[in-house]
Amino acid sequence: MNDTARSEAQSSGGFLPDGDARRRLRRWRGVKDHFARYAVGTFGVGVIIALALIFVYLFSEVVPMLRPAGASLEGSFAAPGGVDTETRYVTVNRHLDLAVRYTTDRRAIFFLPDTGTITHEVGLPLPADAEVTAFTFAEPRTELVAYGLDDGRALVAQHRYNERFSQTGRQYRPDVVFPVMDGDDALTVVDTEGRAIETIGLQRGPGGVSIAAALGDGSVRLVRFQETTSFMTGEVTVRRVVHELPRLPQNALATRILLDITGAHMLVGDDRGFLHYYDIRRPERATLVHSKRVIRGEGAEVTALDYVLGTVSIIVGGSDGSVSQYMLVRDDDNVNRITFVRDFAPHRAAVTQVMPEYIRKGFATADTSGLVQIHYSTSARTVAREQVGDRPLPVIGIAARANAIIAVDDNERFHYVDVRNPHPEVSIRALWGRVWYEGRSQPEFVWQSSSATDEFEGKFSLMPLTLGTLKAAFYAMLFAMPLAIAGAIYSAYFMSPKLRGLVKPSIEVMEALPTVILGFLAGLWLAPFVEGHLPSVFSLLLLMPLFMLITAFVWTTVLAPFVRQFVPPGWESAVLIPVVLFTGWFCVSLSPYIELWFFNGDMRQWLTDVGITYDQRNALVVGVAMGFAVIPTIYSITEDAVFNVPKHLTQGSLALGATPWQTVTKVVLLTASPGIFSAVMIGFGRAVGETMIVLMATGNSPVMNFNIFEGMRTLSANIAVEMPEAAVGGTHYRILFLAALVLFVLTFVLNTAAELVRDRLRKRYSSL
């Protein structure tokens, strides 16, 4: 009787079934085996498909950012209002329904941007006996322009679209208002002596409108209209103040004047390619602080100059086709200096105009060959270009949502360009490289996705988040690995079965503890405790192993054998429980004295004094809290791997004269190494993906360091915090999906590498 028949007989009550019954039993067993094989395979493939679908979904949300921007010429038409007058300024509203053209013959003409059909026309109150000698525009979102006259007066105009809704759709009643008036006169006097305004600058800030003018004799004037709002009545009063500013050096002629929205800085470009910075925070004591040549080409001149949104970065276009960005950066003496930041793709011909976007840090440039280029300052990219003709383009206007451009050539022909540029902020350099952001003294890695100001520059570097993720996982594993692996080896090999039956389930049940509870305890109890007893943390790391070794020495050497007999074999670890409790109490009690003896009574302040930043919620707290979350995973898998080492290997090693410790280090650990490595990598993956603990136990500050006393922001925590606030489909929204994709790929690569290493270890030690 073979073994199969015997087992079948036993399962049937001891009687051998006949041939038909055996065949039926084999068929049924074959059906179950067949079903199990295909069921396991099907669900395994299902898991792979689910992971692939997750990757596909994440990637589908990221793909729109990777698509290139584009610009295409949609149509051309003769200048609305006639080609016998020059265009000084043109712009388009946010719905692409209406555009406005300012001309040299004192008109503001509203027209349809795609066809040129005139809808409204407004005459500007400029005197017929005065000649327009200068023109400028403020930041585009203010919708302000200014005309300078040869008699020292200026006209500030503001176009308004007056959008309203009706049953037939949007309706417009555009007009032009004059926010700066001298009594009932829309003209304001800049120079009382009647000298001609050669160059004019204009800006509106929180304090009101400012006008700067370079006069015919080389002098520079600043006129401020300071607005004051009554707290009781809401009435706005305007006070006009005129200031004389220092002349430009060496009789240079001003070609462009820029005023920032804060009213603190004024920049003047001259005919020699220099940019001059005036500090006008106190106009009565204004000084020319710094001058710098901003065109590096020999013999080249500045032909276009303007701020980007926020009036911090200056874009300089040259006669050599160069396009560069400059900023005011404080030096070691805390003095602002004009500083070069970056170059953009150059033009083939001289740049004629720089036009900033309304709501982003982008801008468009045009040249004398008819080429229009679209750039973005933060990402240092030239995202699109379009050849709209072969004539010079002295004027370009950009739509409020940066989705259209109107380019005007020197024959007063208008060209309508459609623009598709939804995500110019994104580039490899902006996401993973150092970027020189506005307000910073040097290139840095920064994540800052929002601010309270409309002119905020988004900072989307993923480096601080990725480093924060690795930092949190590193300190968690630094805390968890020694405890979990050492505890697993001891409980699996040295501990008595009864004690192991108590310890192993107790540790494994810790895995069921919600991480939000661990994060809550870490943030509200552990972080303040560590801050108040900082010396005890480090003394515990030193004294706990020392007291354990002393206890072991006393137990094995000092105590008499009959005393040790009171503790059964495998229960020796219970002796350490009072030692651990006493050491913890002793270190906490000793903490104030250590601070007095070594740290002048306050260890945190001592760390600050020596240049080490200390945050209450830091990597030390996260490492302890997340370590407790990871320990059960590593312990359980490691303990099973060590316990399942074949007994004949350990018994053979002991029989050959090896000590238990030698058997563990030379046989057990090598055989169990694939399982131990898998435990470590699974624990590391758990730490990398942890959200709630790092969300609640850190300051969520995206810093670029491994300082154990500072916090961090991880990829997972950042997604949890910012995804609810991100606009669906926006750049911020898609970058968060990119962060999720990075986290997915990071864990996938780690797990794949871990499986490869585990497989190699298994093959290497399978012959033991």
C-alpha–C-alpha distance, residues 458 and 339, integer Å: 21
Condensed to tens digits (0 to 9), the pLDDT of residues 326-379 reads: 999 998 888 999 999 999 999 999 999 999 999 999 999 999 999 999 999 999
Condensed to tens digits (0 to 9), the pLDDT of residues 456-485 reads: 899 999 999 999 999 999 999 999 999 999
C-alpha–C-alpha distance, residues 606 and 598, integer Å: 9
The amino acid that residue 659 corresponds to is T
C-alpha–C-alpha distance, residues 47 and 639, integer Å: 27
Burial 601-615 (b: 16+ CB within 10 A, else e): eebbebeeeeeeebb
Condensed to tens digits (0 to 9), the pLDDT of residues 16-32 reads: 557 788 888 888 888 88
- Dihedral (Cα; 709, 711, 714, 718), 10-degree rounding: 180
Quick one: pLDDT band at residue 249, thresholds 50, 70, 90?
confident
- Separation in Å, CA 228 to CA 22, 185, 243, 284, 747: 102, 21, 19, 20, 58
Q: Which residue in 320, 312, 359 sits closest to 339, CA to CA?
A: 312
Strands (DSSP E) contained in 465-582 are none
Strands (DSSP E) contained in 313-448 are 313-318, 323-330, 336-344, 351-356, 362-367, 371-376, 381-387, 395-398, 404-408, 413-420, 447-448
Beta bridge partners of 376: 362, 381
- At 1 the pLDDT is 47
Lowest mean pLDDT segment, chosen from 121-125, 315-319, 635-639, 698-702: 698-702
Distance of CA 295 to the CA centre of its chain: 32
DSSP 436-498: --TT-SS-B--EE---SSTT---EE-SHHHHHHHHHHHHHHHHHHHHHHHHHHHIIIIIS-HH
Q: Which residue in 548, 545, 547, 521 sits closest to 617, CA to CA?
A: 521
Residues 6+ apart with CB under 8 A from 32: none
The number of CA neighbours under 13 Å toward the Cβ of 191 is: 25
- Does the pLDDT value for residue 385 go beyond 90? yes
The answer to whether 493 touches 668, Cβ cutoff 8 Å, is yes
C-alpha–C-alpha distance, residues 90 and 123, integer Å: 16
The amino acid that residue 755 corresponds to is E
- At 401 the pLDDT is 92
- At 461 the pLDDT is 94
The answer to whether 147 touches 135, Cβ cutoff 8 Å, is yes
- At 768 the pLDDT is 59
Query: Average per-residue pLDDT in the chain?
Result: 89
Lowest mean pLDDT segment, chosen from 117-121, 433-437, 515-519: 515-519
- At 208 the pLDDT is 87
- At 748 the pLDDT is 86
Query: Which tokens sit at 570?
Result: 């495998």
Mean pLDDT on 419-442: 93
How many other C-beta atoms lie within 10 A of the C-beta of residue 431? 19
- At 7 the pLDDT is 52
Query: Which tokens sit at 409?
Result: 């050539």
The answer to whether 665 touches 642, Cβ cutoff 8 Å, is no
Local structure of residue 272 (DSSP, 8 states): T
Quick one: pLDDT band at residue 723, thresholds 50, 70, 90?
very high
For the chain, helix, strand, coil in percent to 5 are 40, 25, 30
- At 25 the pLDDT is 87
Q: Which residue has the tokens 């005036």?
A: 278
- At 209 the pLDDT is 92
How many other C-beta atoms lie within 10 A of the C-beta of residue 389? 17
The answer to whether 325 touches 314, Cβ cutoff 8 Å, is yes
- At 560 the pLDDT is 67
The number of CA neighbours under 13 Å toward the Cβ of 279 is: 12
Mean pLDDT on 138-150: 94
The pTM of the full predicted model, rounded to 2 decimals, is 0.88
Q: Is 59 helix (H, G, I), strand (E, B) or coil?
A: helix
Mean pLDDT on 622-635: 92
Quick one: pLDDT band at residue 660, thresholds 50, 70, 90?
confident
- Three-point CA angle 179, 183, 185, nearest 5°: 70
C-alpha–C-alpha distance, residues 731 and 426, integer Å: 8
DSSP 208-233: EEEEEEEETTS-EEEEEEEEEE-TTT
- Does the pLDDT value for residue 91 go beyond 90? yes
Quick one: pLDDT band at residue 766, thresholds 50, 70, 90?
low
- At 3 the pLDDT is 53
The amino acid that residue 224 corresponds to is R
Distance of CA 466 to the CA centre of its chain: 11
Condensed to tens digits (0 to 9), the pLDDT of residues 161-204 reads: 999 888 778 899 999 999 887 777 889 889 888 899 999 999 99
The answer to whether 347 touches 371, Cβ cutoff 8 Å, is yes
- At 6 the pLDDT is 52
pLDDT over 90 percentage in the chain:
57
Quick one: pLDDT band at residue 110, thresholds 50, 70, 90?
very high
Which domains, and CATH codes, for the chain? 3-66 (no CATH), 70-448 (2.130.10.10), 464-527+615-765 (1.10.3720.10)
C-alpha–C-alpha distance, residues 521 and 526, integer Å: 6
C-alpha–C-alpha distance, residues 158 and 174, integer Å: 11
Helix axes 715-722, 731-765, angle to 10 degrees: 150
The answer to whether 373 touches 157, Cβ cutoff 8 Å, is no
Query: Which tokens sit at 455?
Result: 């002119």
Mean pLDDT on 89-115: 94
- At 53 the pLDDT is 93
- At 675 the pLDDT is 87
C-alpha–C-alpha distance, residues 662 and 753, integer Å: 30
Condensed to tens digits (0 to 9), the pLDDT of residues 567-610 reads: 788 788 888 889 999 999 999 999 999 989 988 888 988 998 88
